Structure 1
Amino acid sequence: MSNVLRLAIVDPDDGSRESLKSLLLGMDTVWLEAECSRYEFFADVVEQTTPDVGVVALDTSSEKGIELIAELSASHPDCALLAASSSTDGHLILKTMRAGAREFITLPINAEDLVSALGRVGRQRFGESDGKTRSCEVIAIAGATGGVGSTSLAVNMACVLATQPGTSVALVDLDMALGDADVFLDAIPDYTLADVAQNISRLDIQLLKRSLTKHSSGLYLLPRPVELKDAAVINAESLRKVLGLLKASFTHLIFDLSKSYSSLDMTILEEADHAILVTQLDLPCLRNVVRLMMSFEETNNLKEKTKIVVNRAGLDTGGISLKKAKETMGRDVFAQLPNDYRTMVEVRNNGVPLITQAPKAGITQAVRDLVHNLVGESTASPDAADADAKGEEGTKGVWQKFWPVGQKK
């Protein structure tokens, strides 16, 4: 999981403020929530944005800066304050710390010193609250092929998570051409992923949430672009910036990936804490699972964090047994979702999530269990790890079994 500190800074000196901004924007563990050029306005900025850390530069007026630190430490004790000055005078440092600053850093700021100071501030700040760090779990959901129900799972997992106490959840539709997460939620969004990507430098957390579509479950949706041509404005770099802002805004992010495994999909798979691969128990799906897992080996830790979810389990089509599927994939199955075609069709056509349409259905409980098991553990299941330990040789043999006899080499 990635911890992100939200910062607000005040510095009347334009030069040093821009220098600090440039340094902060290059750090992926912080998000610059707000900046201010007047001491007298900064208390209002902190009130409106509630940052984790407030950085107060003292060089323009050390007296006003120290007074501001004392005021903020009393009125906003949850905001850790960091003082910055080009002076190393011991008396000034003592007054600053007595006023309530957690750290004192020297200007011009050294990147290593800033990272260390923010690390200490973060540990102190979160340790004093509930012993937990502010974190965001990123869950990527992909399908072994089209039509296996990966979007249905993404939407319903997101809605289940959004109803849990203490969570804030965003669902991002990454299928640029044919994504339909908005249809599953009966939503008509005002803004899309393309809009956010194009305006990321102008957005703060409040503007971001107003740009997303909020569902009655509490879930926030960021849909795919309306026009096909708009997808061109989104690249891996802009997506990473969007991801950074989303991480600072939500406790959980769920990305519904496309079936093309494009550079955007792979970017999210690399950044995700959990990667869910949805499959069915048929030959095309299982062959794709093996093929994908072989490809995932090329990306650091991706194979290990991928979890296999079998959808429509129990579908009586004379297909492949679960035992045979496990042997074929060389991996255990993390979860199974029962086949309930009638309920899922109603859910999709009505644009209502399972927890609302069919809260007591078996498929709904299966999704709840999946969410509980997933967010409650940060590593792959032991059985999956054991299967991985069997080595590449077993996987290669399984892969060869997929090809028709006449095409084996």
Structure 2
Amino acid sequence: MTNVLRIALVDPNDDTRESLKGMLLSMDTVWLEADCSRYEFFPDIIEQTAPDVGVISLDNDSEKAIRLIQRLAADAPDTVLLAASESTDGHLILQTIRAGAREFLTLPMSHEDLGAALGRVSQQKFGSSEGGARGCEVIAIAGATGGVGTTSTAVNLGCIFAADNRNSVALLDLDLALGDADVFLDAIPDYTLADVVQNVSRLDIQLLKQSLTKHSSGLYLLPRPVELHDTQGITDESLRKVIGLLKATFTHLVIDLSKTYSAVDMAAIEAASKVLLVTQLDLPCLRNVVRLMMSFEEIDGLQDKVEIVVNRAGLESGQISLKKAKETLGREIYTLLPNDYRTMVEVRNNGVPLVNQAPKAAITQAMKDLASKLMGAEGTAAPTEPVKGSESKWKMFWPGSAKS
């Protein structure tokens, strides 16, 4: 599990409460357990959720807020209290600290100031090894078309990550209609993404883990819904909440996307720190890669986190050469996964990951190398600058894309 600070917030002022919530929700190493608009309800929230940090805004009624801090300091000593106010009055600050607040934060608060304060709390709680709190790496696996091996890539990467006992890893199956990550893991889940979405507002980290299916590799699976009609309740907004909770719980989150690039898929791509676009060396796949990359150009920062993974490399029949593929795409290939149809069929049919089914196979080693590269063990990724003179070779033939 990541070194996540669980936080409860009380602020009767709607504007400042929403501002603070927004900053807290944007932090990977923070999970907002609860927010409250009434001072008198906050002790019950603290008792029920036992958060690591309680953030208390003073400005609605400073006397009542200071009494609340004093009470919580006595009743919930394990919860670190942070006070926030627009006032910089020295007497108020002294009163607040004497009442039991660890720090006094000035509103309006910057993201940096809040992060620094929470960093100090995290350092005390979790220790300062390697810079304190550890964030979550979110890796989205996308496909240039169906059948290119996105699910096998997602499942096996997840199992390889989970083999390192320093990691806690979850796999989210976002192919809502036809996903089969559970088949690859020979799992029969008790709960699905639909169940978690329905109850996300009531879940905490412990309940979330109980809602996931744990594989023998250590990988936690959150599968797609069983019934097709259950997919209707899964929206981009509800998915963002689920991903936020998963990021607060695990060090690595692998997301197997659908091939529809719906609003739900794009919400996952937006949350990802790296997007692997899996393709093969054939004309339809490469054509789709170009089309997708052109669309990704319209979203700020997205192209920079997309890497192209060529699967089934070495399949001689009908494949385009790697050199020609690079020229067509105008960028480097992040990694190659060799063709090993027989092994992959056995893995899928037996429901056993590559590291267990075929630990010495070339495809297994390639997956391990990809995992190491994603975790930074091999340094920076291959350069993605356009190949000289090739950028427009395909675009000039794409309907509506030619530019004067």
- Residue aligning to 1:248: 248
Change (3 A) 1:272 1:202: same
Instruction: Provide the C-alpha distance between the structure 2 equivalents of 1:158 and 1:92, rounded to a whole number of angstroms.
Output: 51
Q: How many residues align?
A: 382
Q: Distance in 2 between matches of 1:295 and 1:345?
A: 33
Structure 1 residues 313 and 116: alpha-carbon distance in aligned structure 2, compared to 1, 3 A threshold = closer
Gaps of 5+ in 1: 404-409
**Runs of 4+ in structure 1 over 6 Å off:** 17-21, 70-73, 85-89, 377-380
| Structure 1 counterpart of 2:32 | 32
Partner Cα separation in structure 1 for residue 75 and residue 134 of structure 2: 25
The match for 1:65 among 41, 62, 69 is: 69
Deviation string 1:94-129 (CA, Å, 9 cap, x unpaired) is: 4654687431247xxx5x337565222123234552
In the alignment, residue 152 of structure 1 is paired with which amino acid? S
Within 5 A, what are the aligned runs for 1:145-224? 145-224=145-224
Give yes or no for contact 1:309–1:337 (8 Å, CA) kept in 2: yes
User: What amino acid is the match of 1:387?
Assistant: P
Q: Tell me the distance in 2 between the aligned counterparts of 1:61 and 1:115.
A: 23
User: Structure 2: where are the runs of 5+ without partners?
Assistant: 400-404
User: Which residue is 1:387 aligned to?
Assistant: 386
- Cα distance change, pair 123–186 in 1 and its aligned pair in 2 (3 A): same
1:122 aligns with 2:135: no
The CA deviation at 1:397 is 1.7
Aligned residue type for 1:123 = G
Partner of 2:82: 82
TM-score (norm 2): 0.82
Please tell me whether the aligned partners of residues 69 and 81 of structure 2 are also in contact (alpha carbons under 8 angstroms).
Answer: no
Question: Once the 2 structures are TM-superposed, how far is the Cα of residue 85 of structure 1 from its aligned partner?
Answer: 7.6
One-letter identity of the residue aligned with 2:259: K
Quote how far apart the aligned CAs of 1:208 are. 1.4
Q: Deviations over 1:300-337 (max 9, x none)?
A: 12122110111111122252111111111111111111
Q: What secondary structure is seen at the aligned counterpart in 1 of 2:307?
A: strand
SS at match of 2:253: strand
**Whole-Å separation in 1 of the counterparts to 2:286 and 2:19:** 47
1:300-311 matched pairs, under 5 angstroms: 300-311=300-311
Q: Residue 173 of structure 1: CA displacement?
A: 0.7
Preserved CA contact (<8 Å) 2:170 2:219? yes
Aligned twin of 1:360:
360
CA drift of 1:83 comes to: 3.3
Residue 182 of structure 1: how far off its partner (Å): 0.8
Deviation at 1:347, TM superposition (A): 0.9
Distance 1:149 1:294 in 2: 22
CA distance in structure 1 between the aligned counterparts of 2:296 and 2:358, rounded to whole angstroms: 36
1:31-50 aligned within 5 A:
31-34=31-34, 37=41, 42=46, 45-46=49-50
Following superposition, the deviation at residue 72 of structure 1 comes to 6.2
Change (3 A) 1:40 1:261: closer
Deviation at 1:287, TM superposition (A): 1.3
Deviations 1:198-219, CA, capped at 9 Å, x for gaps: 2222222222111111111121
Residues 55 and 66 of structure 1: is their aligned pair in 2 closer, same or farther, counting only changes over 3 Å?
Answer: same
Residue 296 of structure 2 is aligned to residue 296 of structure 1: yes
When structure 1 is superposed on structure 2, of 171-180 and 37-46 the one drifting more is 37-46
Please say if 1:227 is aligned against 2:227.
yes
Deviations 1:11-52 (A, max 9, x none): 7xxx84998865554442253225794759947853xx5x3x
For residues 265 and 153 of structure 2, the distance between their equivalents in structure 1, rounded to whole angstroms, comes to 17
Q: Percent identity?
A: 59
State the alpha-carbon separation in 2 of the partners of residues 62 and 305 from structure 1: 46
Aligned counterpart, 1:321: 321
CA distance in 2: counterparts of 1:42 and 1:378, whole angstroms: 44
TM-score by length of 1: 0.81
- CA 1:394/1:325 → structure 2, altered by over 3 Å: closer, same or farther? closer
Paired residues of 2:372 and 2:378 also in contact (CA < 8 A): no
Q: How big is each residue's C-alpha offset from its partner over 1:269-327, in whole Å with a ceiling of 9 and x where there is no partner?
A: 22211010111111111111111111111111212211011111112225211111111
- Matched residues in 1 for 2:123 and 2:159: separation? 30
Distance in 1 (CA, whole Å) between partners of 2:398 and 2:379 is 29
Q: CA RMSD in A?
A: 3.4
- Structure 2 partner of 1:407: none
What is the match of residue 7 of structure 1? Answer: 7
